Amino acid sequence: MFGKIIGAVAGKKLANQTSKIGGASGAAIGVVAASVLRRVSLPAMVALGAGGYLVKKYADRRKAADAGFSEGV
């Protein structure tokens, strides 16, 4: 039960940071994510975390490169 509440709070915070997800749908995503994480193995969780980290680093580098390129033109 506490996992669902924590997941709902995390989903709501995610929804507040993105414009495409509303508050209620963010909370629902958090609840679903909490139940999915309970069923996923530890190596799969590590792989998902590492993959998310690498995707974020790639997106940040690409955004920085695009911003630097457009300023020079």
Split at pLDDT 50, 70, 90, the class of 51 is very high
Task: Judge residue 72's burial from the number of C-beta atoms within 10 Å of its C-beta, 0-12 exposed, 13-18 middle, 19 or more buried.
Answer: exposed
pTM of the complete model beyond 0.95: no
Residue 5 has pLDDT above 80, yes or no: no
Split at pLDDT 50, 70, 90, the class of 54 is very high
pLDDT at 41: 86
pLDDT at 73: 47
